[in-house]
């Protein structure tokens, strides 16, 4: 572990600081407007949600792996969802799948990941006192909290939560009689999602505005750490795609409750025609996936951004292709909006349209490959330190590649006919977006825990956690590819009654389920580590990873306003690691070129003359303004 080092330019400012009235407990910890507290609130909420979300998946994995299992022991938790013959209720199985997807995608990997790290890192890494609007930021968390409460409550109503899949396709989701959860469970799902979208919107406009307006002097866009670029682009994606889901769900609410027919047409139930004519369920799919596909990148981009930072820091090398990384993230963000129909190849779309979307989809492989290549070349001949955060980041790259490869297969509209809605798809997206993003989240927690809580996470437990999780995840999802190629459809309650599935792969499914239980169990190592280190962990030093970015120039536990004195100015990019001639193997962003003549490149010597100008340009430090 790193030793305490003083990085030159930061020791100075222990200057006087305007006195702030101490705030009440309620304003400090609950209704806080401080970005660091809000980030921690998101983190804790995200962790709680992930425990719930993963537990749900373990329950349905037990059903899939061991269809004859006596589930009586779950009755104390699930009550009547375990029926008289000690089996899982099939309707509840569908609800479990739906809630697992919803919780993991939106509540853990969107709110828990972006919410935590965008809030925490944007002001700290760009050199700002706080978010542009602390109030809207607080509001964003509490809208999310309200959405969480409603979603959580929906799991306890008698008819159960929504059961139409996380994509809530009508008519299944539009007709209350379609499934037990189609009534109030679905209504609560929609209300919760509407509130969630409001929360995302408030968060998103704040992130974007903060990055544009509150960068410290010298922090031009070409000196931003890649984390900030990723959060920025993620916020833009969310800003543009979530409102479309809002429209789609409002229309769905009208179809469900007020008799309109936006998505419904010519439906017969028990031989009786419903009065609805004129709508189109495909329309919903278009609207949904216009959000749904960018959502994949909303989940993944922050993880990729943090990984870039962690890999560069722990390889002690500049990130390979800084500008290429930015360009590829922009490329991914742009392409995210024009590929949505690859989720709909088999819904009866015009095959010509299918081939266009296939073409656009396969283009995504280019920027993705650039990123994977750059991660590997950053590691190449680096002076690698295997911290737990680094291991999780490398794990992310591994999942990103192995999951991304199957994306090339699924992106083909012809191959998709066979593989659509099979376990092959499940394996693909769990690796490339689920596990990869989760590893990004974990890497972020291991890396920035010292900054968040002033203590270190235990490294040994981190290693154990990493290896168990990394192996566990591959054991769960790798076999699923075979199951999927064999044609096993996803979302099915059991495979025991179909000729083509009943005699094969029962052992593989049991194996996957055991691996899932194993991986879930391994997460308690992390939970223990997290809680233990929160109170008893080793005290963190100022800059434990010898990192270049600005957050490590704040006090070990930054207070309100982040920097006690002036905000440091920025003179160089964040990746000056192992620079030839430099006395340390890192030079933080706030060290001017004039202090490092031994390592400056010729063009950097010319930048010395700009330093005065940069220092003078201190016009947006909010503590200089009345507030």
Partner 1 sequence: MAATATNPVATDSTQTFDKKAWMGGVEPMNASYGKLMMWFFLISDTFTFSALLVTYGLIRYSYPAWDPAIYGEVFQFSNLYWPTPEKVYNSVPFLHGIDLPLIFVGIMTFILIFSSVTMVLAVEAGHRMDRKDVDKYMLWTILGGITFLGSQAWEWSHFIHGTEQGTIINELVNGQTIQRTIFGANLVENQYGPPAFADLFFFITGFHGTHVLSGVVLNVLIFYRSATGLYERRGHYEMVEKVGLYWHFVDLVWVFVFTFFYLV
Q: Given the rule CB under 8 A, which residues bind partner 1?
A: 126-127, 129-134, 136, 201, 204-206, 208-210, 212-221, 223, 239-244, 246-248, 250-251, 254, 258-262, 273, 275, 277-280, 283, 286-287, 290, 569-570, 613-614, 617-622, 625-627
Cα distance between residue 487 and residue 430, in whole Å: 18
**Cβ closer to partner 1: 235 or 480?**
235
The three-class DSSP label of residue 497 is: coil
**Cβ closer to partner 1: 171 or 479?**
171
Q: Name which of 133, 196, 143 is nearest 166 in CA terms.
A: 196
Spatial neighbors of 95 by CB under 8 A, at least 6 apart, are 155, 160, 161, 162, 163, 181, 185
The three-class DSSP label of residue 455 is: strand
In whole angstroms, the minimum distance from the beta carbon of 59 to partner 1 comes to 35
**Cβ closer to partner 1: 55 or 280?**
280
**Cβ closer to partner 1: 264 or 304?**
264
In whole angstroms, the minimum distance from the beta carbon of 560 to partner 1 comes to 11
**Cβ closer to partner 1: 497 or 617?**
617
Cα distance between residue 213 and residue 339, in whole Å: 32
CB atoms within 10 A of CB 135: 12
Spatial neighbors of 579 by CB under 8 A, at least 6 apart, are 585, 587, 599
**Cβ closer to partner 1: 204 or 318?**
204
Strand 268-269 versus strand 272-273 pairing type = antiparallel
**Cβ closer to partner 1: 609 or 617?**
617
Cα distance between residue 145 and residue 107, in whole Å: 10
**Secondary structure in 3-state letters for 503-529:** CCCHHHHHHHHHHHHHHHHHHHHHHHH
Tell me the two tokens of residue 227.
């984390």
Cα distance between residue 206 and residue 200, in whole Å: 10
In whole angstroms, the minimum distance from the beta carbon of 9 to partner 1 comes to 16
Tell me the two tokens of residue 463.
């290693």
CB 125 within 8 A of CB 552: no
In whole angstroms, the minimum distance from the beta carbon of 382 to partner 1 comes to 29
**Cβ closer to partner 1: 254 or 518?**
254
Q: Is the dihedral of CA 245, 246, 250, 251 positive or negative?
A: negative
Q: Name which of 14, 100, 117 is nearest 51 in CA terms.
A: 100
In whole angstroms, the minimum distance from the beta carbon of 181 to partner 1 comes to 25
Residues 43/47/52/55 CA torsion (nearest 10 deg): 150
CB atoms within 10 A of CB 188: 20
**Cβ closer to partner 1: 265 or 510?**
265
In whole angstroms, the minimum distance from the beta carbon of 34 to partner 1 comes to 11
In whole angstroms, the minimum distance from the beta carbon of 124 to partner 1 comes to 15
In whole angstroms, the minimum distance from the beta carbon of 24 to partner 1 comes to 20
In whole angstroms, the minimum distance from the beta carbon of 611 to partner 1 comes to 12
CB 163 within 8 A of CB 179: yes
Cα distance between residue 215 and residue 129, in whole Å: 10
CB 429 within 8 A of CB 469: no
**Cβ closer to partner 1: 181 or 574?**
574
**Cβ closer to partner 1: 485 or 608?**
608
> What's phi and psi for 82, nearest 5 deg?
-95, 115
In whole angstroms, the minimum distance from the beta carbon of 294 to partner 1 comes to 11
- Residue 33 backbone zone (phi > 0: left; psi -120 to 50: alpha; other: beta): alpha
Buried-exposed string 141-169: b where 16+ CB fall within 10 A, e elsewhere: bbbbbbbbebbbebbeeebbbbbbbbbbb
In whole angstroms, the minimum distance from the beta carbon of 183 to partner 1 comes to 20
Cα distance between residue 529 and residue 525, in whole Å: 6
**Cβ closer to partner 1: 278 or 597?**
278
In whole angstroms, the minimum distance from the beta carbon of 413 to partner 1 comes to 22
Q: Is the dihedral of CA 64, 67, 72, 78 positive or negative?
A: positive
**Cβ closer to partner 1: 279 or 479?**
279
In whole angstroms, the minimum distance from the beta carbon of 208 to partner 1 comes to 6
């Amino acid at each position: 572990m790193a030793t305490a080092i003083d990085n030159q330019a930061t020791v100075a400012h222990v200057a006087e600081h305007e006195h702030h009235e101490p705030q009440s407990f309620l304003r400090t910890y609950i209704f806080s407007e401080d970005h660091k507290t809000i980030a921690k609130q998101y983190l804790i909420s995200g962790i709680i949600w992930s425990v719930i979300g993963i537990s749900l998946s373990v329950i349905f994995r037990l059903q899939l792996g061991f269809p004859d299992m006596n589930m009586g022991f779950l009755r104390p938790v699930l009550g009547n969802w375990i029926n008289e013959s000690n089996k899982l209720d099939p309707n509840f199985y569908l609800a479990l799948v739906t809630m697992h997807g919803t919780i993991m995608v939106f509540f853990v990997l969107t709110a828990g990941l972006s919410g935590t790290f965008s809030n925490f890192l944007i002001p700290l890494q760009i050199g700002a006192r706080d978010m542009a609007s602390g109030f809207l930021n607080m509001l964003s968390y509490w809208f999310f909290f309200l959405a969480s409460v409603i979603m959580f409550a929906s799991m306890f109503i008698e008819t159960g939560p929504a059961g139409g899949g996380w994509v809530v396709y009508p008519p299944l989701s539009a007709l209350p009689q379609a499934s037990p959860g189609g009534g109030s469970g679905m209504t609560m799902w929609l209300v919760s999602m509407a509130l969630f979208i409001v929360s995302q919107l408030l968060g998103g406009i704040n992130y974007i505005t903060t990055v544009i307006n509150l960068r410290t002097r010298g922090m031009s866009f070409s000196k931003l750490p890649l984390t900030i670029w990723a959060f920025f682009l993620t916020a833009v994606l969310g800003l543009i795609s979530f409102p479309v889901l809002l429209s789609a769900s409002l229309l769905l609410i009208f179809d469900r409750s007020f008799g309109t027919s936006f998505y419904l047409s010519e439906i017969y139930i028990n031989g009786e025609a419903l009065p609805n004519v004129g709508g189109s369920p495909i329309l919903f799919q278009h609207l949904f996936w216009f959000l749904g596909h960018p959502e994949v990148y909303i989940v993944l981009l922050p993880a990729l951004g943090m990984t870039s930072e962690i890999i560069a820091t722990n390889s002690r090398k500049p990130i390979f292709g800084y500008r290429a990384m930015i360009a590829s993230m922009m490329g991914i963000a742009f392409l995210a909006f024009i590929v949505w129909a690859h989720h709909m190849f088999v819904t009866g779309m015009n095959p010509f349209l299918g081939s266009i979307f296939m073409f656009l989809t396969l283009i995504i492989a280019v920027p993705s490959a650039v990123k994977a290549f750059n991660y590997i070349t950053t590691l190449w001949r680096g002076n690698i330190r295997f911290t737990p955060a680094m291991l999780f980041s490398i794990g992310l790259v591994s999942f990103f590649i192995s999951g991304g490869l199957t994306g090339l297969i699924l992106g083909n509209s012809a191959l998709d006919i066979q593989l659509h809605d099979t376990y092959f798809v499940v394996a693909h997206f769990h690796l490339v977006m689920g596990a990869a993003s989760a590893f990004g989240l974990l890497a972020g927690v291991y890396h920035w825990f010292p900054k968040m809580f002033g203590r270190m996470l235990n490294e040994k437990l981190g290693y154990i956690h990493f290896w168990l999780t990394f192996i566990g995840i591959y054991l769960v999802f790798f076999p699923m590819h075979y199951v999927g190629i064999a044609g096993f459809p996803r979302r099915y309650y059991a495979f025991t009654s179909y000729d083509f599935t009943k005699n094969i792969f029962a052992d593989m499914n049991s194996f996957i389920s055991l691996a899932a239980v194993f991986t879930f169990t391994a997460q308690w190592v992390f939970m223990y580590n997290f809680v233990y280190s929160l109170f008893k962990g080793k005290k963190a030093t100022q800059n434990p990873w010898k990192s270049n970015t600005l957050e490590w120039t704040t006090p070990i536990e930054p207070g309100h306003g982040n920097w006690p004195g002036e905000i440091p100015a920025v003179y160089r990019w964040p990746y000056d690691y192992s620079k030839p001639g430099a006395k340390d193997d890192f030079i933080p962003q706030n060290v001017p070129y004039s202090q490092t003549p031994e390592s400056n490149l010729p063009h950097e010597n010319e930048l010395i003359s700009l330093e005065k100008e940069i220092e003078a340009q201190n016009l947006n430090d909010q503590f200089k303004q009345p507030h």
